Structure 1
Amino acid sequence: SRAVALITDASKACILALNPSASKAALFSGSSITKLIGCSVMSNSMASDASKLQGSASLDTDCLISAGGVSLSNVVTTVCASPITQALPAADPFADLPAPPATNPCQNDNQSTLQPGTYCKGLTLSGNVTLSPGVYVIQGGDFKASSNANISGEGVIIYLAGTSGVRMNGTATVKLSAPTSGTYSGVLFYGDRANLAGSNTFNGTADSLLTGAVYFPTQSVDYLGNFSGKDGCTQVVASTVQWSGNTSIKHDCTSLGMREIPATQSVRLVE
């Protein structure tokens, strides 16, 4: 008889750290309370502490999965019997996503309702600002949400070109949602793959909503805010992820145009 391996997706991920070797690639820290409903945390790192809980952080998830090991200061509440280590790495779910091209002329950022296009000196938002639907290319500076800013927009994708990053102040209220169809369906933020050392900070008031995927395949994401997306629909896929906000995230967001993200693959002999 012959052995036939059936490869299936073991779980869906809401948080995926792509870095293959980083220590603490998926880190939950501080006194954060994180609930992932119907989805898992996946780290592709081979490090012994690829997924780490430190401080008094609390994590409730379908499963904590790591290509390497896990390091836990507290008990993780999981649907699976225990954290899964030495797992097969997960594929980059957005590897096929093209980078949007910069367009001319540069857009004017000194107005309360912004139009899609290229912002050539970064984009600093303060006061009340609405982003009209479409593709925003940020270059030559960061995307910044200033203190006490009130920022809203539906159907937007924000691409950080070159070394541009995201800086959100903890007192800003940011309510943004990704497109629900088209090339960038379900993707809210997208970081340039060529930026290998960038860091991005997502923060804001508890009233904030980031609906869609936060995708920085070669950069770090620090998620500090006590909020997620509409109906809990936020995904974070980055080189490394540090989480210290109090957040509930849900898995079933396909109605909002978001992709399902396989956490890892399991191999089972069927013959």
Structure 2
Amino acid sequence: MSSNLLGVTIKFFDKFMLDESGATLPLFTIAVPMVIGAMAVSIEAGYWYKSKSDKQLIVDMAAYAGAMELIDSDSDTAKILAELDALHNGYDPDLGTITINNPPLSGSNTNDTAIEVIMTQKGDQYFSKIFGANRITYRNRAVAELFRGSDACVLALNETVSGAFTATGSTNVSLDKCAIGVNSGHAEAAEFGGSSSTIAECLSVVGGVYGAENANFACGTPLTNAREIEDPYEDIAAPNLDDYPTCTEEVDTGDDNVSMSGGRYCKNINLKGTALLDSDSTYIFDGIDVKFIGAASNMVGTGVTLVLMNGATLSNVNGGSNITISAPTAGTYQGIAIYSDPVTQTADEDVKINGGSSTSIEGLLYFPTQNLEFSGNTTGANACTVVVANTIQLTGNSGLTTSGCENSFALKPPKINQGAFLVQ
């Protein structure tokens, strides 16, 4: 529009320069302010349109930030973060208001996983002020919704190697309504062998998959080139050994059963019979080897956490040996069954927990810097097993589920294919 007005103006001036009549001057005097005024209003209207688009971007980003915050935070925290994001990106409280609702008060997305941001801002006026000030007010609205994705009961954290997750040989893996997450960007980050059988909700892998035809995913095709999955447990800290100045006496079961009290163990433990663990207790294995000897060696406990520190190991957990434990339902290590300290444990070390058919570990198995070979099942009433390690190899017959994690342990499993989307 402004270019057309400019053309008209130029033609007008051309005619004026060629016109020798005295009547042209009054017409010119009247016309020029009108033409210039029209041009000014046209330019200012374009500025208003761009300003409204810029402010829409502010509410879009605020709604998105708030929805993403709902992953780990409550509604109030998410709303605060959305407002802070708007302030950071240009919202000025002196020029208007912002309202953030969770859930949204209107529209087609009014569930508690959606954030609504409504912002008003007074607009700048220049030439249009001659018609009155405070005439321009922008109102922008955006709604973003969180898509929570699927629970992952298996998460391999290594970012580069091939086979960060493997299910090979005669392995039969059944993951009930939970998924596999692999953070490696290698072209063969996840591997499924020809004679293995894997059933899972889905697979999310940063890199690629080898042998995907040997697995069955409820989501259909595996999610390759996916976003890296965050480790939700990375802030968990090992116990402070100053709180455990005294070491518990050495344990050797012989062929008999023996009761083990909670505490810090500083000498090797040899299990030939069954170690009966105290309920609601933490067991700190400090730089020692807990060795399972023979098919009759077992470890049994309810509401317990095994902590491995300073190079501690669990060895010979295979054949007929079994670990049958469940994590605490309250306390510092709520939901954590086995914790390998990422600070003091030997990095990239191989750990094998592939005992007999009675091996059942309910809760989180956390080996973030070590390579875990695991065979086990979720057989208890809590219905929760989550395996997180540097690399993971599932062997034998493994059946895992996360369906009871939040109800039983308030344990939130890792999520795949999780994100926020603008919906309005």
3-state SS in 1 of match to 2:198:
strand
Given the alignment of the two structures, is residue 79 of structure 1 paired with residue 79 of structure 2, yes or no?
Answer: no
Percent of aligned pairs with the same amino acid: 31
- Structure 1 residue 9 displacement after superposition: 3.2
- Structure 1 residue 229 displacement after superposition: 4.2
- Of 20-29 and 192-201, more deviation after overlay is shown by 192-201
Higher relative contact order (CA 8 A, sep 6+): 1
- Deviation string for 1:11-63 (max 9, x for gaps)? 11000001111211111111111111111000011111111101411110010
Name 1:158's counterpart in structure 2. 306
Q: Of 277, 281, 286, which aligns to 1:131?
A: 277
- Deviation string for 1:182-204 (max 9, x for gaps)? 12111110111023122211122
Instruction: Map 1:245-256 onto structure 2 (within 5 A).
Output: 245-253=396-404, 254-256=406-408
Q: Of 202, 212, 219, which aligns to 1:63?
A: 202
Report the TM-score, using the length of structure 1 for normalisation. Answer: 0.92
AA of the residue aligned to 2:289: D
Note closer, same or farther for the CA distance 1:44–1:139 as it changes in structure 2 (3 Å cut): same
Show structure 1 runs of 5+ residues with no match: none
Name 2:423's counterpart in structure 1. 270
* Whole-angstrom CA distance in 1 between matches of 2:411 and 2:385: 11
AA of the residue aligned to 2:264: T
* Whole-angstrom CA distance in 2 between matches of 1:34 and 1:214: 17
* Whole-angstrom CA distance in 1 between matches of 2:318 and 2:371: 17
Name 2:384's counterpart in structure 1. 233
- Structure 1 residue 68 displacement after superposition: 1.0
- Of 4-13 and 75-84, more deviation after overlay is shown by 4-13
Q: How many residues align?
A: 270
Higher strand share: 1
* Whole-angstrom CA distance in 1 between matches of 2:314 and 2:147: 35
Note closer, same or farther for the CA distance 1:229–1:198 as it changes in structure 2 (3 Å cut): farther
Q: Of 28, 34, 51, which aligns to 2:190?
A: 51
AA of the residue aligned to 1:197: D
Instruction: Map 1:97-246 onto structure 2 (within 5 A).
Output: 97-102=236-241, 103-108=244-249, 109-110=251-252, 112-133=258-279, 134-147=281-294, 148-167=296-315, 168-194=317-343, 195=345, 196-225=347-376, 227-231=377-381, 232-246=383-397
* Whole-angstrom CA distance in 2 between matches of 1:179 and 1:126: 26
Note closer, same or farther for the CA distance 1:229–1:184 as it changes in structure 2 (3 Å cut): farther
- Structure 1 residue 205 displacement after superposition: 1.6
3-state SS in 2 of match to 1:14:
strand
- Structure 1 residue 269 displacement after superposition: 4.2
Note closer, same or farther for the CA distance 1:215–1:176 as it changes in structure 2 (3 Å cut): same
Note closer, same or farther for the CA distance 1:266–1:198 as it changes in structure 2 (3 Å cut): same
Q: Of 12, 19, 23, which aligns to 2:162?
A: 23
- Structure 1 residue 252 displacement after superposition: 1.1
- Deviation string for 1:202-253 (max 9, x for gaps)? 122212221111101111110134x334255221000100111212212212
Show structure 2 runs of 5+ residues with no match: 1-52, 65-143
Is residue 165–residue 199 contact of structure 1 (8 Å, CA) maintained in 2?
no
Name 2:411's counterpart in structure 1. 259
Higher helix share: 2
Q: What is the CA RMSD across the aligned residues, in angstroms?
A: 1.9
- Deviation string for 1:156-184 (max 9, x for gaps)? 11111021122213211321111011121
* Whole-angstrom CA distance in 1 between matches of 2:318 and 2:214: 31
Given the alignment of the two structures, is residue 91 of structure 1 paired with residue 230 of structure 2, yes or no?
Answer: yes
Note closer, same or farther for the CA distance 1:170–1:256 as it changes in structure 2 (3 Å cut): farther
* Whole-angstrom CA distance in 1 between matches of 2:150 and 2:212: 24
Note closer, same or farther for the CA distance 1:59–1:176 as it changes in structure 2 (3 Å cut): same
- Deviation string for 1:49-104 (max 9, x for gaps)? 11110141111001011011111164321111210011111111211211112312
3-state SS in 1 of match to 2:388:
strand
Is residue 186–residue 207 contact of structure 2 (8 Å, CA) maintained in 1?
yes
AA of the residue aligned to 1:256: S
3-state SS in 2 of match to 1:230:
coil
3-state SS in 2 of match to 1:255:
helix
Is residue 125–residue 145 contact of structure 1 (8 Å, CA) maintained in 2?
yes
